[in-house]
Every structure is written in C-alpha cells, then in structure tokens.
Structure 1
C-alpha cells in the first residue's frame, strides 16, 4: 500500500515546487483540498483492496482448515469403522475355529466310542465292538450284584444280538449260572450243555459240568447227577470242580 501512495505524493510535491510565485495564485484552497482528498481516497482505496484481499485469503485459509479437519474426522471415523469390522471378523474366525475344534473333537470321541477294543478272553486276544463290551459288562455287573433275573435277561439278550461275539462263550456260561441261581434248573442244564458243546476246550467246562450235576440234584435226578460228577473227577481230576464233585458224590447214595 505504501509503495503505491509514495509516487502520488512525490508527483504532487514536484508539481507544487515547479510552480513559480506568479503561478501560485492559480491554486486556491479548494483545489488543494480536492487534491488532498483525492490522495486520501486513493490511499484508502488501496488499503481497502489489501484488506479485502487479506480477508479473502483468511477466509480461504479458514475454509481449507475446516475442510481438512472434516476430512481428517471422516478418515478417523472410517478407520474406526474398519477396526470394528476387523475385530468382528477376528471374533467370527475365532468362533469358527473353536466350533471346528469342538466338531472334530466330538467326531473323534464318537469314533473312539465305536472303535473296536482289544480284550483278553480266556487268555486269547480279541477285537470287540464297544457296544458288545458295554452290553456284556452290564449283564455281568447285574450277576455280580446278585441281580440274577436281570443278569439272565441281560445275557440272553446279548446272545440274541451278538451270536458270533467273542463274548458268546462267557455270556452262555454266566447265563447258565444265572438260571441256576433263579432255580430254573432245567434251563440251566440246557444252557451249560450248549456251552460245553460249543466250547469243549474252555477252562470253564469243569464248572459247567458241576453246575449241571448240581441242577440234576435239585431236580432229584441223582442217577444222572452221579454220572456227571464222576465224569468231572475222571476228565478233570486236577480242577477245583473235581474236588467239589467228589464231595457231592460222597453225599449221594445209590
């Protein structure tokens, strides 16, 4: 603004200096006053223009700052939204992974429950389905707890469901014992005879014969009972059943 005013002042000064005293009268007070007013107007106009430019620049800068702040705020909101999306996805992935682990663990558990197991029966190794093991153990547990009717039903059901099971021999033997315990002596005899015929090499044959002899005694069939006890002492002389058979023979009179 000062640079623009100085030339006007300088020109005015030179003009005044160049006038001779003779010409000074040509300029009266009104003309001088108008010149000064014009100069002031020029100075004011120049100042107003600069202020307007400064105000415009300030407004533009303010707008740019406001726009930048809005953009930054918008970016921060978008970043926060994306973080929320990422966290949600991470939780979903973690949930899916947990569900997959639980799913495979459940399958593995089920497979283990259904996979055959190695068992030893009378000194021999067998691979047996777990359902068979469970059914046999349930019937045997009932027998062990002297729940003989329940045991007889359990062993009978087992033999119907699993006639070819490695537990068939044991189930038949204990079925005969359960029938004897419930005083169903005729069925006990038939069951033990079936056992002996199907498993002649079983170490439980002497006990099955002893049970047959005892059942015959209970049925008052002393003749066949003596024959059965004698067979035990002859075929299996070193067995515990042979000692019991000798004692029973001593009590049976012809």
Structure 2
C-alpha cells in the first residue's frame, strides 16, 4: 500500500511538471516573464526532474519485481520443505512398521526359549521348548525300535539338560535302550541312577524290575533275587511287584 501511494504521488508530480511545461510553451504571459536563457534552463531543469522521476519509478518497479521473485522463491522453498516433511513422515512410519515387525520376531524367538509347563510320568514341571522336543524325539526313536539312535539321543539329552524335569524318565528309557541292545551293565547303571535320584518316580518300580532282569541276563541270580525281594518290599502295590513275585517263584 505504501509503494502504491508512492507511485501515485510520483504520477501526480509528473502530471504537474508536464502541465507546467505545456503552460510555458503556449502561454504568452510566460514568454513575457522569462528570457530565452532562463526559459531554456527551466526546460532543462524540468526535463532532468522528469527523468529523475522516471528513474525513481523504474527503481520502484524493480524493487517490486525483486519482492515478487523473493516471494516466489520462498513459496518454492516452502513447497520443497513440505515435500521433504511428507517424505520423512513416510520414512518414519515405515521405520516404525519395521521396528514393530522386528520386535514381534524377537518376541517370537524368545518364546522358543521360554520354559512352559509340561507333564511327564505324572510329574509337572517347567521345560524349554527345545528341551521338550529333544526328549520326545529320543523317545520316538525308542518307540520306532531304533534303539541305538535312541540311546545316543537320550545320552545327549542328559548331558545337555542335567537338571531337567525329564531326567528321571530319560534315564529310565535310556536304560531300556541299553537293555534292548544287550548292554545290561550300562542299563543297570541308568536304572540305579533313577532310583537314587527319584525313588518315588512313577517309573521307579519298573526300573527296579528291569535291574533284576538285567542281572538275570548277566547270570547274577543271587543279585537278581535280592533286587526282586527289595522291589516287593518297597513297592508292594505296584504292577512291577506282581511280576517280581512271579519271577521269585521261578528263581527258588
């Protein structure tokens, strides 16, 4: 608005100057008042003033154009910044999505190592998923009749998970794997380890009976008789005790 008022004032001044020139040119009274030299100087002064005013107008127009150019540059910069902000926002959202996916993957992998409640041979305890899988894999090998592979798998299991809740059951099945491959002394050792560590285990009476059977295979009849008698005394109501009494009757 200020520049507009300045331009208007300049235009009004220019009109006044031109009017004065016209008046001097055509008014007889003006010619009477001025000598030729004075009139020439007046005209030159007026012409110089007019040129100054035109130059001032041009400078003002240049300043306005520069302002317009500056505003255009500023708008372009603002547009570029908005585009950059939108890009950064999109990258942030993508990064958040990737972080969330990564966290879900980490949580999933961690759950693979977290212990969970399991039950085996009447015992409830916590076991890691890998631990449970290793035990069940070894047991499946035994059920499939792959006794040597099962023996090796149970041996590895007991070495990797010595404090496992599956330990007593693993020793029982390892003893059976040894027995199936006619390795009676290692079988006796595993059954005895079960009885020593967990005499109340659900498989304990069967382990005692398997010890006696292994002793019989080794021709240690007296040792087998003693084992059977102890079984009947310690686990009198078990199914293994019924089998023990029948074997004792044949050993006498």
Same fold (TM over 0.5): yes
Following superposition of structure 1 onto structure 2, how do residues 141-152 of structure 1 map, counting pairs within 5 Å? Answer: 141-152=140-151
Following superposition of structure 1 onto structure 2, how do residues 72-151 of structure 1 map, counting pairs within 5 Å? Answer: 72-98=71-97, 100-102=99-101, 104-129=103-128, 132-151=131-150
Q: How many residues are paired up?
A: 231
Partner Cα separation in structure 1 for residue 30 and residue 133 of structure 2: 127
RMSD, matched Cα: 4.3
User: What is the deviation of 1:51?
Assistant: 8.4
Bigger Cα Rg:
1
Partner Cα separation in structure 2 for residue 199 and residue 13 of structure 1: 138
User: What is the deviation of 1:103?
Assistant: 5.2
- Do residues 66 (structure 1) and 90 (structure 2) align? no
- Do residues 157 (structure 1) and 152 (structure 2) align? no
**What is residue 28 of structure 2 aligned with on the other side?**
11
Residue by residue, what CA displacement relative to the aligned partner does 1:27-66 show, whole Å, maximum 9, x if unpaired?
A: xxxxxxxx9xxx9x9xx99998898678657744653453
Q: CA 1:8/1:193 → structure 2, altered by over 3 Å: closer, same or farther?
A: closer
**What is residue 212 of structure 1 aligned with on the other side?**
211
User: What is the deviation of 1:214?
Assistant: 3.2
User: What is the deviation of 1:80?
Assistant: 2.9
**What is residue 176 of structure 1 aligned with on the other side?**
175
3-state SS, counterpart of residue 192 of structure 1 = helix
3-state SS, counterpart of residue 202 of structure 2 = coil
- Do residues 194 (structure 1) and 211 (structure 2) align? no
Gaps of 5+ in 2: 1-17
